[in-house]
């Protein structure tokens, strides 16, 4: 028997199919229930059960439609003559109220089915839908039947039992039906079993009630014949099967009783029906209880089985391994993966003690924890430990161990959760090693390096940094820089603050003052210590004290100047003969003029005019002599180097004049080829003169062995390709010998008897100090030429 229970419950309004299903089910139930004799209580009032099922399985908002549909069905099916309209309305209302109350109550306790999956639910269902609500409804029924002078107790009990029996038998079957449940499709074997059960029930029912009908209740033995089949249904077919079997049994029994030959009088029939109802109630509730208990247990077993299967799967695939370890440390149960990791087969591992596989150094701490665990001081402990593999190599594990106790609280075994952390440990060790190396590297680095955290406290500072910056007697790591340092540049606080915002700051030439007043110069760089993401976590400070270096550089510069001066003086020394000539010429003229003048004057006024012109010449010659001396003094003085714009052609002319005496003495012909327009270059006049003079003197000396007529010095100035000035000093000598060509600029290399051998070395360093170049090349026509290139004013640093 099917009912409206199959109507889908998720639709907003009942569909035509559900309405048809409900109406047909309700009609069938109503017709069956009204097929009994009117003078006895209906043993099996089915419409209420159908209505209850419809309400239970439908959304609340559609309930009204089922309640309304029940009325016309009842009115149409009941001949007006049989029951008055008022009576029909009253019973309809009473039945509706009963179904509504039961459905609402049950749905309130559990909004969705199943309502019979546990003993507790069965009890709830029974007490509400089978006992309380029908009992109340029966009171209503008694009130309605009061008009017919019915007696209270028989009327109430008949009404109550008829309703409750139908609800108990039919509702479980209907509400446990759903489209997804498949009684018959599970397997053919199952279908055959169900068929055999139905057949057995029918046959046993016939056996029981054909004779039993006559002898009931005396023929109770025959009534027992269907029991095995009912038990079969209860144990094998669940609530639905049991409910269906019970319904079939009940229908058969009711049919047998109502058609009993002995129950001819109403009174006898009433008594029989009452007995049957009580009998069926007891049987049905017992069997349903049994079914639910079995179902519940089956469900629990299935859940347990699937949980165990899931657990086993989880254990097999999880990184975490579960092991049971005896109190003596012996493995009771160990996963295969653990055995594989340790290089054993599983049986081999189970022969080992966990303690034997633990290195002695790790064991002590573990045993201490085990002691605390066994005394109950701690519920569990977690450690990182090693287990030794079969080949002797240790493997790192994370172990979480708890103790399993028996019902008396005595420890039985340990439950271990193990995770292999060898990779992590190796990585940690590598990181630690690398960090240690880095610290060592930083510590012994010759550079002053420090690292500060986000609060600008020192995390690390190299030995050099501590030596250079640490305040005496004050620790540095963990302290803020302004507390720990003996002094730092004024720009540091701002630079560090900005560094934490991600800005790199640097300064090549800065100073700070130590507490004792010493001023230190330094160069520094402060850069963000940037993690892979987010704002900088700190700052790196790189600093280098340049005080000593600067002092050294100054001293070196002074030495260089001194050396340049010495070589200049030396060069001039080589020129001294020529310089004497330069001076002697005007002096000779002056002396001759003066003595001539004396003679003229001794002759009286006639010579005065001649004397005037003589004096003019004397002044001119004197000036010329003082010019020579002035330029000599300039070259001889060791003055501060001064870079100014220099007219290079003018410089060349001056030097040639200074060297003129030498050139003449040496019989050297000078050819000047000066560019018409040269840009000014920036340089020190004296140093540049020194370079040219040196090169000219060298050239003259190179030609000393040549024939007089072959001594030609060529001085050429031109514009360099890069916009600078190029000067070439070319001689007609034999050229630079091959063996000293590569060493020509080396110090102390000399081909002369006199001289330090520093001339060209100094020349090159002076030219380089001007940002220029000095090199040697051969002339096409023989002889050597020295080339100097000096950069334009703006090109020089």
Partner 1 sequence: MRRPGGPSGRARAGTKVPYPPAGRSLNMSSMKPRIFVAVVDDEESVCRALLRLLRAAGLDVETFSSSEAFLESMRERLPSRRPDCIVLDLHLPGLTGMDVQRQLKKDGMHLPIVMITGNEEAGVQERVLAEGAFAFLLKPLNARTLLDAIDGAVRGSTVLP
User: CB of residue 613 vs partner 1: minimum separation in angstroms?
Assistant: 9
Q: How far is CA 557 from CA 562, 677, 739, in A?
A: 8, 33, 32
Binding mask 544-583 for partner 1 (x = CB under 8 A): ---------------------------------xx-xxxx
Of 247 and 593, the one with the shorter C-beta distance to partner 1 is 593
Per rule CB under 8 A, is residue 697 in the interface with partner 1? no
Q: Which of 14, 15, 29 is nearest to 173 (CA)?
A: 29
User: CB of residue 652 vs partner 1: minimum separation in angstroms?
Assistant: 19
Of 72 and 577, the one with the shorter C-beta distance to partner 1 is 577
> Given candidates 592, 675, 749, 756, which one binds partner 1 under the rule CB under 8 A?
592
Distance in angstroms (rounded) separating the CA atoms of residues 694 and 729 = 10
User: CB of residue 697 vs partner 1: minimum separation in angstroms?
Assistant: 15
Of 353 and 708, the one with the shorter C-beta distance to partner 1 is 708
User: CB of residue 584 vs partner 1: minimum separation in angstroms?
Assistant: 3
Written as six digits, the tokens of 667 are: 């019989």
User: CB of residue 590 vs partner 1: minimum separation in angstroms?
Assistant: 7
Judged by CB under 8 A, the chain residues 602 through 621 that form the site for partner 1 are 610, 614, 617, 620-621
Phi, psi of 346 (to 5 degrees): -60, -45
Of 374 and 589, the one with the shorter C-beta distance to partner 1 is 589
Judged by CB under 8 A, the chain residues 144 through 163 that form the site for partner 1 are none
> Given candidates 15, 265, 382, 595, which one binds partner 1 under the rule CB under 8 A?
595
Per rule CB under 8 A, is residue 587 in the interface with partner 1? yes
Instruction: With CB under 8 A as the rule, give the number of residues binding partner 1.
Output: 33
Binding mask 22-61 for partner 1 (x = CB under 8 A): ----------------------------------------
What contacts 727, CB < 8 A, 6 or more positions away? 648, 652, 692, 715, 716, 717, 718, 787, 788
Per rule CB under 8 A, is residue 593 in the interface with partner 1? yes
Of 335 and 661, the one with the shorter C-beta distance to partner 1 is 661
Per rule CB under 8 A, is residue 626 in the interface with partner 1? no
Of 668 and 744, the one with the shorter C-beta distance to partner 1 is 668
Contact present, 509 and 521 (Cβ < 8 Å): yes
> Given candidates 285, 355, 521, 585, which one binds partner 1 under the rule CB under 8 A?
585
Of 275 and 584, the one with the shorter C-beta distance to partner 1 is 584
- Helices (H) then strands (E): counts for the chain: 26, 17
Of 505 and 621, the one with the shorter C-beta distance to partner 1 is 621
Span of 96-104, 113-121, 596-604, 742-750 interacting with partner 1 by CB under 8 A: 596-604
> Given candidates 82, 434, 584, 751, which one binds partner 1 under the rule CB under 8 A?
584
Contact present, 614 and 595 (Cβ < 8 Å): no
User: CB of residue 612 vs partner 1: minimum separation in angstroms?
Assistant: 12
Of 631 and 665, the one with the shorter C-beta distance to partner 1 is 665
User: CB of residue 660 vs partner 1: minimum separation in angstroms?
Assistant: 10
Query: Can you name the residues that pair with 461 across neighbouring β-strands?
Result: 450
For residue 635, give the 3-state DSSP assignment: helix
User: CB of residue 595 vs partner 1: minimum separation in angstroms?
Assistant: 4
- Cβ count near 381 (within 10 Å): 18
Q: Is the peptide bond before 217 cis (omega within 30 degrees of 0)?
A: yes
User: CB of residue 674 vs partner 1: minimum separation in angstroms?
Assistant: 20
Per rule CB under 8 A, is residue 599 in the interface with partner 1? yes
Residue/partner pairs of 396-401 with CB below 8 Å, 24 or more apart? 396/420, 396/421, 396/422, 396/424, 396/425, 397/421, 399/366, 401/325, 401/369, 401/370, 401/373
Binding mask 631-670 for partner 1 (x = CB under 8 A): ------------------------------x--xx-x-x-
Contact present, 106 and 115 (Cβ < 8 Å): yes
Of 146 and 613, the one with the shorter C-beta distance to partner 1 is 613
User: CB of residue 610 vs partner 1: minimum separation in angstroms?
Assistant: 7
User: CB of residue 508 vs partner 1: minimum separation in angstroms?
Assistant: 54
DSSP letters along 538-598, please?
A: EEEEEEEE-HHHHHHHHHHHHHHHHHHHHHHHHHHHHTHHHHHHHHHHHHHHHHHHHHHHH
Region at 723 (left for phi over 0; alpha for psi -120 to 50; beta for the rest): left
Distance in angstroms (rounded) separating the CA atoms of residues 308 and 300 = 12
Of 475 and 577, the one with the shorter C-beta distance to partner 1 is 577
115-140 per-residue burial string, b: 16 or more CB within 10 A, e: under 16:
bbbbeebbebbbebbbeebbbbbbbb
Residue 641 is given by DSSP the state: P
Angle ∠(769,775,779) on CA atoms, nearest 5: 150
Distance in angstroms (rounded) separating the CA atoms of residues 170 and 172 = 6
Residue 477 is given by DSSP the state: B
Span of 45-53, 430-438, 585-593, 675-683 interacting with partner 1 by CB under 8 A: 585-593
Of 440 and 588, the one with the shorter C-beta distance to partner 1 is 588
Written as six digits, the tokens of 503 are: 């800005």
What contacts 106, CB < 8 A, 6 or more positions away? 56, 115, 124, 125, 128, 129
User: CB of residue 713 vs partner 1: minimum separation in angstroms?
Assistant: 13
Written as six digits, the tokens of 565 are: 């001066």
Phi, psi of 328 (to 5 degrees): -85, 0
User: CB of residue 667 vs partner 1: minimum separation in angstroms?
Assistant: 6
User: CB of residue 709 vs partner 1: minimum separation in angstroms?
Assistant: 9
Judged by CB under 8 A, the chain residues 703 through 732 that form the site for partner 1 are 708
Distance in angstroms (rounded) separating the CA atoms of residues 694 and 705 = 19
433 exposed, middle or buried (CB, 10 Å; 0-12, 13-18, 19+)? exposed
Of 614 and 681, the one with the shorter C-beta distance to partner 1 is 614
Which stretches of the chain bind partner 1, using CB under 8 A?
Answer: 577-578, 580-593, 595-597, 599-600, 610, 614, 617, 620-621, 624, 661, 664-665, 667, 669, 708
């Amino acid at each position: 028997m099917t009912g409206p229970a199959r109507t889908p419950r998720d639709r907003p309004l009942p569909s035509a199919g559900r309405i048809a299903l409900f109406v047909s089910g309700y009609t069938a139930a109503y017709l069956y229930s009204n097929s009994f004799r009117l003078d006895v209580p209906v043993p099996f009032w089915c419409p209420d059960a159908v209505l209850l099922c419809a309400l239970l399985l439908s959304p609340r908002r559609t309930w009204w439609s089922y309640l309304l549909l029940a009325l016309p069905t009842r009115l149409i099916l009941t001949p007006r003559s049989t029951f008055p309209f008022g009576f029909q309305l009253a019973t309809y209302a009473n039945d509706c109220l009963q179904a509504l109350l039961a459905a609402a109550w049950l749905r309130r306790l559990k909004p969705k089915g199943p309502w019979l999956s546990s003993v507790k639910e069965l009890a709830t269902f029974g007490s509400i839908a089978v006992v309380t609500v029908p009992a109340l409804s029966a009171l209503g029924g008694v009130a309605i039947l009061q008009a017919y002078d019915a007696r209270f107790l028989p009327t109430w009990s008949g009404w109550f039992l008829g309703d409750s029996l139908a609800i108990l038998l039919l509702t479980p079957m209907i509400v446990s039906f759903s489209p997804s449940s498949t009684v018959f499709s599970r397997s053919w074997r199952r279908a055959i079993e169900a068929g055999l059960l139905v057949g057995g029930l029918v046959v046993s029912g016939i056996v029981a009630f054909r004779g039993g009908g006559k002898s009931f209740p005396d023929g109770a033995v025959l009534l027992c014949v269907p029991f095995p089949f009912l038990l079969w249904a209860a144990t094998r077919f669940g609530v639905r099967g049991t409910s269906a079997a019970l319904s079939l049994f009940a229908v058969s029994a009711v049919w047998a009783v109502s058609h009993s030959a002995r129950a001819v009088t109403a009174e006898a029939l009433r008594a029989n029906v009452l007995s049957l109802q009580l009998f069926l109630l007891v049987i049905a509730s017992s069997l349903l209880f049994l079914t639910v208990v079995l179902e519940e247990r089956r469900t629990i077993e299935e859940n347990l089985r699937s949980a165990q299967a899931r657990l086993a799967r989880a254990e097999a695939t999880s990184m975490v391994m579960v092991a049971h370890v005896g109190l003596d440390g012996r493995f009771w149960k160990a996963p295969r993966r653990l055995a594989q990791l340790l290089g054993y087969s599983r049986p081999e591992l189970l022969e080992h003690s966990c303690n034997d596989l633990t290195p002695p150094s790790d064991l002590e701490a573990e045993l201490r924890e085990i002691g605390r665990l066994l005394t109950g001081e701690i519920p569990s402990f977690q450690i990182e430990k090693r287990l030794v593999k079969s080949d002797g190599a240790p493997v790192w594990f994370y172990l979480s161990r708890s103790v399993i106790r028996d019902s008396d609280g005595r420890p039985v075994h340990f439950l271990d959760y193990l995770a292999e952390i060898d990779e992590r440990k190796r990585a940690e060790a590598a990181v630690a090693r690398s960090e240690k190396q880095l610290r060592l590297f930083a510590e012994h680095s010759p550079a002053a390096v420090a690292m500060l955290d986000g609060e600008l406290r020192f995390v690390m500072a190299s030995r050099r940094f501590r030596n250079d910056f640490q305040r005496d007697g004050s620790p540095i790591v963990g302290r803020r820089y302004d507390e720990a340092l003996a002094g730092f540049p004024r720009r540091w606080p701002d630079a560090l603050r900005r560094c934490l915002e991600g800005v790199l700051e640097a300064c090549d030439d800065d100073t700070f003052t130590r507490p004792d007043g010493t001023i230190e110069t330094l160069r520094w760089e402060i850069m963000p210590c940037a993690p892979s993401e987010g704002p900088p976590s700190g700052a790196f400070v790189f600093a280098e004290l340049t005080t000593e270096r600067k002092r050294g550089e100054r001293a070196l510069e002074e030495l260089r100047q001194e050396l340049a001066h010495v070589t200049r003086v030396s060069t001039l020394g080589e020129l001294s003969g020529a310089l004497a000539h330069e001076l002697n010429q005007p002096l000779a003229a002056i002396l001759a003029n003066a003595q001539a003048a004396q003679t003229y004057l001794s002759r009286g006024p006639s010579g005065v005019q001649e004397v005037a012109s003589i004096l003019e010449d004397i002044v001119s010659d004197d000036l010329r002599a003082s010019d020579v001396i002035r330029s000599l003094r300039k070259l001889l003085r060791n003055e501060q180097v001064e870079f100014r714009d220099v007219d290079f052609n003018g410089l060349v002319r001056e030097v040639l004049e200074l060297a003129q005496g030498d050139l003449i003495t040496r019989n050297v012909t000078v050819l000047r080829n000066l560019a018409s327009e040269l840009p000014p270059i920036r340089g020190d006049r004296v140093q540049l003169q020194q370079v040219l003079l040196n090169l000219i003197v060298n050239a003259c000396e190179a030609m000393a062995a040549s024939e007089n007529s072959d001594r030609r010095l060529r001085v050429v100035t031109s514009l360099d390709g890069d916009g600078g000035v190029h000067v070439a000093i070319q001689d007609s000598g034999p050229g630079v010998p091959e063996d000293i060509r590569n060493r020509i600029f080396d110090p102390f290399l000399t081909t002369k008897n006199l001289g330090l051998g520093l001339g060209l070395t100094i020349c090159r360093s002076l030219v380089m100090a001007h940002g220029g170049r000095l090199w040697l090349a051969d002339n096409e026509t023989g002889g050597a030429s020295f080339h100097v290139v000096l950069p334009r004013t703006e090109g020089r640093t």
